[in-house]
Amino acid sequence: MAFREQDLDALMYEYPAKVKRNRKKHILVRDTSQQKQEIEANTRTIPGIITNRGCAFAGCKGVVLGPLKDMVHIVHGPVGCGYYSWLTRRNKARTDEGGKNFIEYCVTTDMQESDIVFGGEKKLAQLIDEVVETLKPNAISVSATCPVGLIGDDINAVSKAAQQKHHIPVLSFSCEGYRGVSQSAGHHIANNGLMEHVIGDSDSEEAPGKYAINMLGEYNIGGDSWEIERILEEIGYTLVSVMTGNSSYEELREAHTAELNLVQCHRSINYIAEMLEKKYGTPWLKVNFIGIESTVESLRDMALYFDDPALTQKTEEVIARELARVEPVMEQYKKICNDKTAFCFVGGSRGHHYQKLFKELGIETILAGYEFAHRDDYEGREVIPDIKMDADNRNIPEIKVEKDERRFRLKIPPERMEELKDKIPLSNYPGMIPDMKDGHIVVDDLNHFETEEFIRILKPDIFASGIKDKYVVQKMGIPSKQLHSYDYSGPYAGFNGAIRFAKDVADGFTTPTWNFINPPWQNEPLLSGTVEEG
């Protein structure tokens, strides 16, 4: 059914007027006749509403720092904060030869009532001593949970003292859960800390190999990064670091030597991309390795950036071989998935990234959104190219693109500039809204009430989101796919990931389970009300 802007009022029938006014700004029905549609985002969830969002601690320790495997990540706080952030995100890591890997450890000060009353600094200092002695990590992070900020423990001072005592980096992060409005604040805190204390903290000036790149915003969930690395390394790229999937403190120190930064998840790490650009002049390129088409497009953009015929040729060879292998398999799954509809609601980038992969299977995303993205993730960031040649620099051909003091140097031979300038992938991100079709819905910080209402009205064939709403939706008789943890499957990125995803989704549609579940609307009327006489 076609959904219209005015249908939103009916959908929100239970909201008090003030709440309705607020939530309406976070929901839009796509209308391509409008030049630009705006949405409110990155604001506080209304207290009492059941949101899927996480906290700043989750964004800092869980998302950005957690995957760094040669570090021990200490949670200073009650045991629950450590326990519930222990391995649930499925950021995988393999131990390098002779290397250290503490990913499977859950290390916390386990604060008790007495620590809240008398302070937990001593306990933290003792735990750091114990960690150094027993685990000998390359570095330690200390992340603060809510009570730490409330009682005023100075984790910064404790960490500094421990660093002097043990001669290993002990980094503290004031990422108390209540900071900011979601996990997004935690990404920022972690990014700042890594940039200040880790990235570039080595004497290396040269990259370790040819076509040296960092991959930012890739966390190796379900092994995604390994599949992307397989492709990039075969083409001939040197991965200096991945931020931060399957990565290490030691790898990150070298990140400044890369020639180009790829940005997979824009939301969680754009700060580092921008800071690297400012500090070292390294440009960044938005990529997307979710979906076959997006993967191919990203590989071609990268080849265009380096503009080396041998690299371009190898890129095309790998693309042709992989497409010949995976496309016939996708065709088979498409027969099951074709003409179906999806809701796709995930954190800060996957709500958009997965839409193309759904599309490749013939599944249309009719409602999408992010938990905690900012407006530029929805509306895009505009970079107006103002291309100038540097006449003195003809031996190192480059294009300078300037906007808001941001400069991108793209190595393109001058004679090809005219031909390539419109194709150059600038450091920008078009956002989710322009990719949505007329009548489709974009929702920021979708909550449980709205989820049920939208499902009742639009009845999608598959619902993609996270653990907090998965089971409610499945009990309504609709297959659900966790796009955070991949329901213990994966990888879903790259060519092999697309096939794995297609199989999992097709299995979701064809399982006989659905014969045993009656969706509520089969037995209950969709409308209810009273008829007044007279």
Q: Give catalytic residues, as residue numbers.
A: 55, 58, 89, 187
Residue spans of alpha helices (H) in 259-308? 266-280, 292-306
Indicate which single residue of 484, 494, 499, 502 sits in contact with ligand HCA (rule: CB under 6 A): 484
What lies within 8 Å, CB to CB, of 399 at 6+ separation is 387, 388, 389, 408, 409, 410, 412, 417, 421, 424
**What Å distances lie between residue 438 and 38, 368, 372, 375, 460, CA to CA?**
15, 13, 24, 20, 17
Tell me which of 76, 89, 197, 381 binds ligand HCA, using CB under 6 A: 89
Residue 221 as a binder of ligand CFM (CB under 6 A): the answer is: yes
Asked if residue 67 has a cis previous peptide bond (ω within 30° of 0), the answer is no
Count of residues interacting with ligand HCA (CB under 6 A): 14
Stretch that binds ligand HCA, among 51-59, 69-77, 101-109, 394-402 (CB under 6 A): 51-59
d(CA 214, CA 194): 14
267 touching ligand CFM, by CB under 6 A: yes
Q: Is 268 in the site for ligand CFM (CB under 6 A)?
A: yes
Name the one range near ligand HCA by CB under 6 A: 200-208, 319-327, 352-360, 482-490. Answer: 482-490
In whole angstroms, what is the distance from residue 76 CA to residue 113 CA? 14
Distance between alpha carbon 414 and the CA centroid of its chain, in Å? 36
Chain centroid to CA 319: 25
- Least distance from C-beta 230 to ligand HCA, angstroms? 23
User: Could you tell me which stretch among 126-134, 173-181, 425-433, 464-472 binds ligand HCA (CB under 6 A)?
Assistant: 464-472
User: What residues pair up with 215 in beta bridges, in sequence order?
Assistant: 242, 262
- Residue 349 interacts with which of ligand HCA, ligand CFM, none, CB < 5 to 8 Å by class: ligand CFM
Class of residue 453 by CB neighbours under 10 A (exposed 0-12, middle 13-18, buried 19+):
middle
Cβ count near 167 (within 10 Å):
8
Is 66 a residue that touches ligand CFM (CB under 6 A)? no
* Binding-site member from 93, 262, 346, 442 for ligand CFM (CB under 6 A): 346
C-alpha radius of gyration, the chain, whole number? 24
Binders in 402-461 for ligand HCA, by CB under 6 A = none
CB of 482 to ligand HCA, least distance (A): 6
Contact of 69 with 141, CB cutoff 8 Å: no
First to last CA, the chain: 34
28 touches ligand CFM by CB under 6 A: no
In the complex with ligand CFM, the residue whose CB is nearer, 69 or 123, is 69
Q: Does 183 bind ligand HCA (CB under 6 A)?
A: yes
Nearest approach, Cβ of 439 to ligand HCA (angstroms)?
A: 28
Stretch that binds ligand CFM, among 73-81, 279-287, 324-332, 340-348 (CB under 6 A): 340-348
Binding partner at 181 among ligand HCA, ligand CFM, none, C-beta below 5 to 8 Å by kind: none
Binding-site ranges for ligand HCA (CB under 6 A): 52, 54, 58, 62, 88-89, 183, 347, 466-468, 482, 484-485
